[in-house]
Structure 1
Amino acid sequence: MNITITRNNKEYKYKLDKEYSTILDALEYIKENIDNTLSYRSGCKSGICGSCAVIVNESEKLACKSKIDENDKVKPLKYCKVIKDLVVEINQIEKLLKENKTFIENYSNNLITNDEQKLINIQSNCILCQSCYSSCPVVEINKEFKGPYALTRSLRYINDKKESNFSNKLDEIQRNGIWDCTLCGNCTLVCPQFIDPKTDIMNLRIKSIQNGYSDPNIQNNNFFNEFDFDSGFNPNSF
C-alpha cells in the first residue's frame, strides 16, 4: 500500500509493507519505521480531541477516523500556518473565539429547560479541529473572515439564556462574519461532529435581522434605479 504526504510543499511517497486501518495508523508506522522526521499531531485517537485533522484526498478529515485506501494523499490543513509537515498553528483558534466573544460575559439567573440545554449542546460539541475553517472558500479571499467554528460558537452563546446581554455577540459577527459566508455548505460536509455550521450561520442571520441588523452587502438603492426608464418602462404599471 502506498500513501503520499505533503511536507514543506513537496510530495513524499511512502510504501507500507502491510495494510493499516486508518490514516493515523499509517502515519505512526512511517514515523516509527521509515522516517522518524515526519511530524503530525494526535491526541485521543478516538475522534474526540480533533488534533489530528488533516486533508485526505482534498477533503478535511480526522486522521484517527479516516479509513486508509491505496494511494491516499495527505496534506496539512489550509489557511493555517504550517509549523512542520502536517502540524499547523492552533493559536488562531483562541484569537477567533475571543474576537467573537464566545463566552458568557454577563450572567443571568434565567433557568434553562432541558430542550434549551440540548439546543446549545449541539454547538458545544465542536472540537475545534479547524476542518471547517480549512474547507471554507471565503477564508481564501478574506483572511479576516471569522470562519464557521467561531460563528457556530457565537450561536451557542447567543442562544444561552445564562447570557443576559447577547447584543455584543451579535455586533461582533456583522463584519467579516455571517454576511460574508457564501452558504456553500463545505463546513457542514467536513464536520466530524455532524454540526451544521451553514444552518447555524443562517440562524444567526435571522436573529440579526430580528434585532435590527441588515446585510451590509446589499446596496440601499431604490429598486427602480436598476431600470432604464428611457426604454418606456412604467413603474406605475405594477
Structure 2
Amino acid sequence: MRVDIKRGDEFVSYDVEQSDITLLEILSHIKTKQDSTLAFSSGCRSSVCGSCAMRVNGKEVLACAYKLQDGDLIEPLRNAPVLRDLVVDMDKAYAFNKVARAWGIPTSDNLHVSVKDAELNELQSDCILCGSCYSACPVYAVNGEFIGPFALTRSWKYAADVRQKDISATIAAVQTNGIYDCTLCNECVLVCPQGIAPKQDIVMLRNKSGMMGYMDPNFASSFGGGLSF
C-alpha cells in the first residue's frame, strides 16, 4: 500500500505492508521504521484530544480514526502556518476564542440547570478544538480575521446557557468578522468529528443578534448604509 504525504512543497511517497490500519498507526510506523524525520501531532489516540487532525484527499479527518486506503494523499490542515510536514501552528485560530468572548460567567444566584436547559448547549460542549472546521472554512481565503466556526460555536454555547444573565458583550463581540461573514456553506458541518453543526450555531447567533437590535451589515449597505421607516 502506498501513501503520499505532503512535506514542504512536494508529496513524498511511502510504501507500507500493513492494511486495515489507521492513518495514525501508519504514520507512527513510517516514523519508527522508515523515516524518523517525519513530523506529525498525536495525543490520546481515541478521537478525544483532536491533535491529530489533518487532511486526506482534500477532507479533514482525525488520523487516529481514519482507516488508510491505498494511494491516499495526506496533507496538513489549511488556513494555519505549517511548522513542519503535518504539524501546523494553531495559536491564531485558538486566539479567536478570546475575540469571540467564548466563555461564561455564571451568577451565584442562578446555578441550577434543568435537563432541558442543559440540552440547549450539550452538543457544543463536545468540541475538541481539533481545527477541522477551521481548515475546511473557505472564508479565510478572503478574510484572515474571520472569527471562525469553532469559536462561534463556543460563543453560542455560552449565549444559550440559561445561567448567563447578560450576554450582550458576547453578542457584540461576534458582529465584526463574525456571524455575518460566514457564507453558511456547510463545509464545517461535514468535517466535524463530533457531529457539531457550527453553521446552525451561527444561524442561532444571527437570530439572537437580530432580537438584540443588530443587523446584517451587508443587508443594510444594500439600502445605502441604513434603513428608515
Q: TM-score, normalised by structure 2?
A: 0.93
**Secondary structure of the residue that 1:5 maps to in structure 2?**
strand
Deviation track 1:42-76 (CA, whole Å, cap 9, x = no partner) reads 00111111000000000000000111100000000
CA distance in 2, matches of 1:13, 1:163: 52
Matched residue type, 2:170 = K
CA distance in 1, matches of 2:64, 2:142: 30
Structure 1 position 57 matched with structure 2 position 57: yes
Residue correspondences, number: 223
State the match for 2:185 in structure 1: 184
State the match for 2:4 in structure 1: 4
Considering only CA atoms, is the larger Rg found in Structure 1 or Structure 2?
A: 1
State the match for 1:203 in structure 2: 204
| 1:60-71 equivalences in 2 (<5 Å) | 60-71=60-71
State the match for 1:124 in structure 2: 125
Q: Specify every segment of 5 or more residues in structure 1 that has no aligned partner in the other structure, as ranges.
A: 224-238
8 Å CA contact 2:80–2:93 kept in 1: the answer is: no
Matched residue type, 2:97 = L
Q: TM-score, normalised by structure 1?
A: 0.90
Residue 109 of structure 1 deviates from its aligned partner by: 2.3
Q: Specify every segment of 5 or more residues in structure 2 that has no aligned partner in the other structure, as ranges.
A: 225-229
Residue 219 of structure 1 deviates from its aligned partner by: 3.4
8 Å CA contact 1:106–1:165 kept in 2: the answer is: no
| 1:115-154 equivalences in 2 (<5 Å) | 115-154=116-155
CA distance in 1, matches of 2:131, 2:23: 18
Matched residue type, 2:11 = E
CA distance in 2, matches of 1:53, 1:221: 40
CA distance in 2, matches of 1:46, 1:11: 27
State the match for 1:97 in structure 2: 97
The alignment yields a C-alpha RMSD, in angstroms, of: 1.4
State the match for 1:218 in structure 2: 219
